[in-house]
Structure 1
Amino acid sequence: MRNAVLLPNDLVLTTDNSAAIGEKEADVVQVSDEVVAYFAGRVALMEQWAAGAYPVSIVIHNFSGNKSWNKYVAGMEKLFGEINQPCPEITGSTESNMETLQSAMAVTMIGERQVTSAENYTWYVYGMPCVGEEVMTESEKTANMKKISDGVNSGFVQRVWPVGSTGIAGECKRLGLHCELSNWDTGKSAGPATSVLLGIANNRIEEAKLHFGTYFEEIN
């Protein structure tokens, strides 16, 4: 598992947060609250996949005020709609007593671990590292959730390992992989998991290359 907590009864807890990104005037990055929730949920969902689990419940922690709640919920619904899956039940709370100058929220997912047997696979990186404004302006370079979900459901994606602030090189080190990639900034933060490491079944690599297309390269 990556940044996930294994609970009793094969339940898995994952979480991600966001601060100073949203619709408030003092936010460092100005973007809709729906988009903020989408990307926070994206990270938590990929962490579930990394642990071999799928979420059954979502908790939203909203410090941005009442007007942001429905937008955060809409971001979650957009995420699951993108992968053609029903959105799990959403609960949570809102800080409505104190007004904050900057936006802040967190998403926690509780999932059920699924028993799967991994075949022989080769690690690839999919999606370029992007952070801050780049996440929006260079979105065509980032890992596509629908493609990852389809790959998992089709069976040629055997492992999912989202890239965080330590960059591709940092995640490769955690996995014990020697990282050599041409034309990739392997030390750059991938922000909300715009890059992801994928374990591709060895007998379906050509299929995966056609499926993922650009910004998909083997980790040597």
Structure 2
Amino acid sequence: MRNAILLPNGFVLTTDNSAGIGEKMADIVSTPDEIVSYFAARVALLEQWAAGATPVSIVVHNFSGNQSWGKYVAGIEKLFNEIGVECPEITGSSETNMETLQSAIAVTILGEQQIENSNEIRWYVYGKPSLGEEVISDGDKIADLKKIREAISLGLVHQVWPVGSTGIKGECERLGQNYYLVDWDIEKSAGPATTVLLGIDIFKEKEAKLHFGDYFEAIS
């Protein structure tokens, strides 16, 4: 498990945020609000999967003003539609008393932990590490969450470990795993979890390779 908080009664809390990215004039990165919330929810969802949990509720903290609320909600709903899962109820609040110069948002997901699987696994890396504008331009090369969800359902994937700013190398070290990836930039930030480490059932590795296709390699 990575950045998840275990609550009583088997509940799990995960969150992700961003600032200075959006549609305001002073934003450092100009990006549609829908895309900002999509990737914030993507990270929080992957953290849920890493904890073996299923989302049951979503809270949006919107500091960008009322005009951004509908777009933020649309981005989150788009993510869940793409992976073929009904979007949990979305609630939250918007800052309306003070007009901010830059966009800011946090997406928090409450999930319910499932029974952990004890199958023997081998770790693989999936998705090209991408940052900033690369997340959009190389969208076909980053980890596909729908494929991951399907692989979990098929019993191919038993553990999920999203890669963040420390890169593949940093996350492998956190897992205590050796790494040998000649053609990968193992120190590059993966931004909004564009790369994911997956624990693959050792008896289903060939099936997993066919399922994930490109940008899917054993880490050692």
Coarse TM-score class (shorter-chain normalised) = over 0.9
Secondary structure of the structure 2 residue equivalent to 1:140:
coil
2:34 alignment partner in structure 1: 34
Q: CA deviation at 1:58?
A: 0.3
1:187 alignment partner in structure 2: 187
Secondary structure of the structure 2 residue equivalent to 1:162:
strand
CA distance in 1, matches of 2:158, 2:33: 33
Within 5 A, what are the aligned runs for 1:136-151?
136-151=136-151
Secondary structure of the structure 2 residue equivalent to 1:81:
helix
1:92 alignment partner in structure 2: 92
Segments of structure 1 that go 5 or more residues without pairing to the other structure are none
2:56 alignment partner in structure 1: 56
Equivalent AA in structure 2 for residue 62 of structure 1: N
Q: CA deviation at 1:116?
A: 2.9
RMSD, aligned α-carbons? 0.7
CA distance in 1, matches of 2:136, 2:30: 11
Secondary structure of the structure 2 residue equivalent to 1:102:
coil
Within 5 A, what are the aligned runs for 1:122-141?
122-141=122-141
CA distance in 2, matches of 1:141, 1:69: 29
Deviations 1:74-100 (A, max 9, x none): 011101101111100111000011111
Deviations 1:47-82 (A, max 9, x none): 000000011000000000100000100011101101
Calculate percent identity across the aligned residue pairs.
Answer: 65
2:152 alignment partner in structure 1: 152
1:204 alignment partner in structure 2: 204
Equivalent AA in structure 1 for residue 16 of structure 2: D
TM-score (norm 1): 0.99
CA distance in 2, matches of 1:118, 1:193: 25
Within 5 A, what are the aligned runs for 1:71-90?
71-90=71-90
Segments of structure 2 that go 5 or more residues without pairing to the other structure are none
